[in-house]
Amino acid sequence: MKKIFLLLVLNLVSVFAFSQAPKYSNEFLAIGVGARALGMSNSVIASVGDGSAGYWNPAGLVLTPAERQLFLMHSEYFAGIAKYDNISLAAVTSDSSAIGFSYIRFGVDDIPNTTDLIDAQGNIDYDRITTFSAVDNAFIVSYSRKMPLKGLLIGGNVKIIRRKVGDFGGSWGFGLDAGAQYTTKDWKFGAVLRDVTSTFNAWSFTLDDRTREIFTLTGNEIPENSLELTLPRLLLGAGRTFTISKSFNIYPEVGLDVTFDGKRNVLIKSDPISVDPHFGFELGYKSFAYLRGGIGNIQQETNFDGKKVTTLQPNMGIGINIKNILSIDYAMTDLGDVSVALYSHVFSLKLNINHIVNNASL
């Protein structure tokens, strides 16, 4: 399977690069981070308040329950072919502000490069096979602050994006995000505008004459240096905490992902605006153990009979919080139709460093 990745990846890159504003640019930044969020079908825009807030909603970073918090996540996709990792550090700098640093990597490693498989005499020589990686990297710097209006938080991100396909090509990108959260009694509301000014990726390619010749002979388009844009995306969330008993409470949240790049295969679709709704919940026991679930990715598909059917993606997860120092979370996500059973296992860890910060004044 990996043997086709060279031409496949570079061909996809060239398609993206030739479009002025492709719909699915920098999609690795739309997957999500953290087992809590993925278990709740990404429905955390209003409630996130830890090291992962730098990704989900930078406004919530100031709610991190320690002076310093280390956040780690690892997951694998497509039977381990693709690896997805995140490391974040949150630092509460005062009673009203916090900063964060995040690194995200989505990559496929050890892809066979078979462009030189056949030598000049036409002989197949397997010793000429080399390997390369196709990697998407994002570096995010976040800032969060409490506002004078009680319950209102704001935040922002600066993103630097580095995408690389072996030695064949790569891009540098830059973008900005803005977010807000508002809490009143048991209600939470959140909003994030990603890629506020549109995020750009400047692509450059360094293909030698041999690779160009192979691309031509195999009917593949030769990629050229170009600029790729990612249009803004609005993420909205609202939720409420319900107390069931002394030991149990439940927090459901509904989210809306609003895109402005034309009709998408989502529940509410039009041109140019489409809306993708999703829902998640978190059932907590004494702030120690958590059960999570969610539904998202609602879309229409054509089955083998040619009929349109509505499908959705269920997610689930669990988590434990050990003495407010260490949190371990797990999520199982379905990447496609339930009948295909393409499940991925996501693990994340939060380590609180230094003493606990009192956020009760919010």
pLDDT digits (tens, 9 = 90+) for 249-272: 999 999 999 998 888 888 888 888
- Whether residue 239 contacts residue 190, with contact meaning beta carbons closer than 8 Å, is answered with no
Q: What is the pLDDT of residue 342?
A: 63
- Whether residue 69 contacts residue 53, with contact meaning beta carbons closer than 8 Å, is answered with no
Q: What is the pLDDT of residue 9?
A: 41
Rounded Cα distance, 154 and 60, in Å: 8
Does residue 111 have a pLDDT over 70?
Answer: yes
Q: What is the pLDDT of residue 354?
A: 79
Give 28's DSSP letter. G
Average pLDDT over residues 122-139: 85
Structural domains of the chain, with CATH: 2-353 (2.40.160.40)
207-to-14, 114, 117, 223 alpha-carbon distances in Å: 12, 14, 17, 9
Positive or negative CA dihedral for 36, 42, 44, 49? positive
156-to-62, 128, 232, 297 alpha-carbon distances in Å: 12, 48, 14, 26
Nearest to 14 by CA among 162, 117, 130, 165: 165
Average pLDDT over residues 24-45: 91
Q: What is the pLDDT of residue 340?
A: 46
Could you give the count of Cα atoms lying within 13 Å of 355 in the half-sphere of its Cβ?
A: 3
- Residues in a beta bridge with 255: 237, 278
Does residue 237 have a pLDDT over 70?
Answer: yes
Rounded Cα distance, 276 and 296, in Å: 8
pLDDT band at 248 (very low <50, low <70, confident <90, very high): very high
Q: What is the pLDDT of residue 309?
A: 85
Higher pLDDT, 228 or 73: 73
Nearest to 163 by CA among 3, 27, 6, 72: 27
Q: What is the pLDDT of residue 110?
A: 85
Nearest to 43 by CA among 210, 277, 214, 229: 277
Give 357's DSSP letter. P
- pLDDT > 70 in the chain, percent: 87
Q: What is the pLDDT of residue 6?
A: 41
Higher pLDDT, 217 or 40: 40
Does residue 212 have a pLDDT over 70?
Answer: yes
How many Å separate Cα 153 from the centre of its chain?
Answer: 22
pLDDT tens, residue by residue, 303-359: 778 788 888 889 999 999 998 899 999 999 865 444 444 678 899 999 999 755 544
**Rounded-to-10 torsion of CA 215, 217, 218, 223:** 20
- Residues in a beta bridge with 176: 158
Q: What is the pLDDT of residue 337?
A: 44
Rounded Cα distance, 256 and 343, in Å: 24
Q: What is the pLDDT of residue 132?
A: 85
pLDDT band at 22 (very low <50, low <70, confident <90, very high): low
pLDDT tens, residue by residue, 154-188: 999 999 999 998 888 899 999 999 999 999 989 99
pLDDT band at 33 (very low <50, low <70, confident <90, very high): very high
Does residue 8 have a pLDDT over 60?
Answer: no
pLDDT tens, residue by residue, 94-108: 999 999 999 999 999
Rounded Cα distance, 179 and 57, in Å: 6
124-to-8, 218, 225 alpha-carbon distances in Å: 21, 17, 32
- Give me the helices (H) in 110-266, please: 209-217
Q: At residue 205, what are phi and psi to the nearest 5 degrees?
A: -125, 145
Give 350's DSSP letter. E
Does residue 273 have a pLDDT over 50?
Answer: yes
Residue 327 buriedness (CB in 10 A; 0-12 / 13-18 / 19+): buried
Beta strands, E only, the chain? 68-77, 82-94, 97-113, 130-146, 152-165, 169-184, 187-194, 199-205, 226-230, 233-240, 242-243, 248-259, 268-269, 274-285, 289-302, 308-322, 326-334, 343-353
